[in-house]
Amino acid sequence: MTLKIPYEDQLHADTVAFLSAQPKQLLIGGRWTPSLSGKTFVTNEPSTGLPLAEVYEAQPEDVDLTVADARAAFEKWRKVTPYQRERLLHKLADLIEKHSQVLAEIETLDNGKPIGAALNIDVPSTVEMFRYYAGWPTKIEGGVKPVSIPNRLNYTLREPVGVVGTIIPWNFPLSMISWKLGPALAAGNCVILKPAEQTPLSAVYFCELAIQAGFPEGVISLLNGAGEVTGAALVAHPGVDKIAFTGSTEVGRLIMKAAAGNLKRVSLELGGKSPHIIFDDADLETAIPYAAGSIFGNAGQSCNAGSRLLVQRKVYEQVVEAVANSAMHIRVGVGMDVGTDMGPLTSLEHYQRVTRYIELGQQAGASVRFGAQRPSGVPQGGYFVSPTIFENTTDDMAVVREEIFGPVLVATVFDTLEEVAQRANNTPYGLAAGVWTRDISRAHQLAGMLAAGTVWVNCYYQFDPSSPFGGYKQSGFGRDMGHEALEQYLNTKSVWVGL
């Protein structure tokens, strides 16, 4: 299949060369190869809806071959010294930084996000994550335990789990690779990477860089394909020791069931419907831009988006009017245009989902403060949605209770701390929350009351490789980032010695 490269005249020569070489292959045992069946699938460029890339689709037989190669590679990789693993991770981070322009362009074409966000946020955060975990291999320790049995020595060893299957979402394709592969590789595991079928290209380029960095054959493998085929085969495979997944709660449930076959270890970072709470004593000049950015950034395609805005009555109208004004000035457009603030949604399927929720909100009686229509001046075939704000909602409406994963904000008023805590927690999710107040006692009190894995006080969307991130309730379990993430990829062995 011959595919036209979109916006070719704006792209780096290496990006054009990468997109010209198609179909994209699988990486199995350190070798680029077609799928055994020869089956392929096509991804679309979100700004136009036109075909972007043809990619080989891994079937269960490809998964079998990949797992066998990864298990063989693990027996050698586990003997590589911590210092050698550290050097490889640093080399990989250096290569990602060197190729940042190309990776950003690939990410924008594949996902739809603005090129500025890809270049200034996604790629640098990926580099930072790998450099953070590059420092860990030489610091993974066991310990001597003060046992009470005479003439016995007891100590612990920390050992890699083995072969890890990582399933990556389409909203932050590149940076999510670093969240999973950073700690998994630092701990000494072999990794099979399964990116979202909507956004496979940055994973392909990433694996090319991993080969350049010198990772041994089979330590990092790449299987592209649909979740219900490739992902399901990877999750159920008895040769896989752990699955690390970021994605929807619905798929997380399926993964837990499939992983029961060999009781493989599972960590899940799932959906959210995060409350963003603004009290009447808050610094509104700072809070309002965060309230808008937390839902309209990345076109709302963030699991921790501040999608429920709860504002204390005295300042409610002032805050919502200002957020609506911010939405009005967001420039929605093609991701490759440097003036774009918000790009399209990533796929046609997701565009249909988000627009359906907007219809449901209106049908349920919610008032549209802003948006709820297609933006003007955008390519006809692109998956564009305007920033949208709903008011006059009730807590039982679908737009309030369910994760939309788009630029759709529901705003509501509250009066007391106890009320807002109860309403904020009235959700099956528990990923994140934001609190704005100058009353530090109230801030700490509410942070303790909220059932969320992350609470941001007088800020939002703050991430650092050293700070763990994950959810409560149906937002999943396990943690990404920090030393806590390493625990997901290590076994503890207790050794007893008679003296």
Domain ranges of the chain: 8-270+476-495, 275-465
Active-site hit among 57, 269, 391, 403: 269
Residues 6+ apart with CB under 8 A from 51: 1, 3, 42, 43, 44, 45
Task: Say how far apart CA 87 and CA 296 lie, in whole Å.
Answer: 38
pLDDT in tens, 62-118: 999 999 999 999 999 999 999 999 999 999 999 999 999 999 999 999 999 999 999
> 3-class SS at 495?
strand
| 269 given a catalytic annotation | yes
Q: Would the pLDDT of 1 be above 80?
A: no
For the chain, the first-to-last Cα distance in angstroms comes to 69
CATH of 275-465, one of 3.40.605.10, 3.40.50.300, 3.40.309.10, 3.30.70.1710: 3.40.309.10
| Residues present in the chain in total | 499
- DSSP category for residue 149: S
Predicted pLDDT of residue 347: 98
- Report pLDDT for 2: 67
What pLDDT was estimated at residue 3?
A: 82
d(CA 30, CA 441): 55
pLDDT tens digit sequence for 103-146:
999 999 999 999 999 999 999 999 999 999 999 999 999 999 99
CA–CA separation, 490 and 252 (whole Å): 22
Amino acid letter for position 407: P
Phi, psi of 129, rounded to the nearest 5 degrees: -65, -45
Tens of pLDDT along 346-370?
A: 999 999 999 999 999 999 999 999 9
Query: What does pLDDT average to over the chain?
Result: 97
Single out the catalytic residue among 303, 321, 349, 418. Answer: 303
Q: Is residue 303 annotated as part of the catalytic site, yes or no?
A: yes
Question: 3-class SS at 208?
Answer: helix
DSSP state of 415: -
Q: Which fold has domain 8-270+476-495?
A: Aldehyde Dehydrogenase; Chain A, domain 1 (3.40.605)
